[in-house]
Amino acid sequence: MPGLNLGDEFPNAQVETTKGNFKLHDYMEDKWLVFCSHPADYTPVCTTELGALIALIPEFEKRNVKIIALSCDGVDSHHGWIKDLNAQAGCPSNELLYPIIADKDRELAVKLGMIDPLEKDAQGLPLTARAVFIVAPDKKLKLSILYPATTGRNFNEVLRVIDSLQLTLHKKVATPVNWQNGGECMVLPTVSAQEASSLFPQHRVAEVPSGKGYLRFTPQP
């Protein structure tokens, strides 16, 4: 099945959305992008997810991130559903703070490898899975996660991942298991001991039975 690998350029597709027609790269401008697909409008899990995204918009904006969603429903369906999404988020507006793509012919869903073969609409056509793509300002794919229709996403985890991606893009560190922004990081294996002492003067080396000093921790730079 077609799809994207990490580092691939995200397609500059022309899309029809609740906020007009445009190309994805134009929508991104020089920002990061979180691209989310959902199986269908007016479905329970999707409503909780896209409602949660509304509430988290200020957190995404702090990180220079724009949001866009997609399903195989049409624009009219999306517009009708927006009232439910805003109600779920406790938002009085009738406008959605981010666009939803109408991918009725499933062209973009197939191109991005987002089709869920086990979930079908009333006509027997496959629906989109719950995909998350994170795209950097250089338009390259930095992360992808694919959930089945029965499992809702955790967007606090998406924010955590964005914090890690933005940090490690510019600093010679990695983020360990369960890392949270501001927590201890790890010095990359490609950084020599001499360079580590210069870049991370407060780093520490954890002892392991192998005696190999590869577990190097440092305060977040």
Give Cα separations from 136 to 7, 54, 61, 64, 78 (angstroms).
10, 21, 14, 10, 27
Active site residue 30: no
| Helices assigned H by DSSP within the chain | 24-28, 44-62, 75-89, 107-111, 155-170, 193-199
Query: From the candidates 46, 72, 116, 185, which is the catalytic residue?
Result: 46
Three-class HEC string of 1-49: CCCCCCCCECCCCEEEECCEEEEHHHHHCCCEEEEEECCCCCCHHHHHH
Query: From the candidates 8, 105, 121, 138, which is the catalytic residue?
Result: 138
Active site residue 116: no
67: tokens are: 């949001």
Which active-site residues does the annotation give?
A: 46, 138
